[in-house]
Chain A
């Protein structure tokens, strides 16, 4: 199993440009999520999904859009990039059941907005 795969690993954008960060998992996990990591601020939840066709906002959703058309894929769209969105983005997935379990992270995508 490849686990959680994110692309691209690095991206530079200009202010106002749009782009999509791709995330795919091959573990048949129901739960998928996107976090951003900024120095000293830990990991902050952007959006999450508990299954195909279901998405919800996390702690910092503004400026981002998601969709979940299949169990495997959970892309994150930046609608109009801003310098404040410069960050490292992590996609993560887990099984979903009666007990919360281990969150598996992708390798991360480093985004710079100029």
Chain B
């Protein structure tokens, strides 16, 4: 089955700096790559996603890039703010079984004021 690896496991940045989280996946049939944000004690929530027919997608301060040849995708957060402190999860899906997502292990991001 699909295997998703996520790095780094923790990331500490100064407010205003950029943060980058990287994920690799194993199944070349995967075609949907979402990113979820989970604040402390809360449920995971979708922040951005990308499909395999697109190489990059932006939404204000966040962007995701996808390299299908290398089977990796990344989340970029620019001008980080304290409210960006959370755990971020990448995921991948082939779409073959409903919305069956395989998640990475998560990255704990701490934005220092």
Residues of chain A at the chain B interface (Cβ within 8 Å): 30-31, 33, 35, 40-45, 48-50, 56, 58-59, 90, 94, 96, 99-103, 105-108
Question: Of A56, A58, A106, which contacts B43 at CB under 8 A?
Answer: A106
Q: Establish whether residues B99 and A45, one from each chain, have CB atoms under 8 Å apart when the complex forms.
A: no
| Bound Cα distance from A107 to B102, whole angstroms | 19
Question: Of A35, A42, A58, which contacts B6 at CB under 8 A?
Answer: A42
How far does the Cβ of A111 sit from chain B's closest Cβ, in whole Å? 16
Q: Which residues of B contact A59 (CB under 8 A)?
A: 1, 102
Contact mask B79-109 → A, CB, 8 Å, 1/0? 0000000000100010101111111111000
Q: Establish whether residues B34 and A41, one from each chain, have CB atoms under 8 Å apart when the complex forms.
A: no
Bin the interface of chain B by size.
Answer: 20 to 34
Q: Establish whether residues A48 and B100, one from each chain, have CB atoms under 8 Å apart when the complex forms.
A: yes
| Bound Cα distance from A46 to B51, whole angstroms | 25
How far does the Cβ of A90 sit from chain B's closest Cβ, in whole Å? 7
How far does the Cβ of A71 sit from chain B's closest Cβ, in whole Å? 13
Question: Of A42, A44, A101, which contacts B99 at CB under 8 A?
Answer: A101
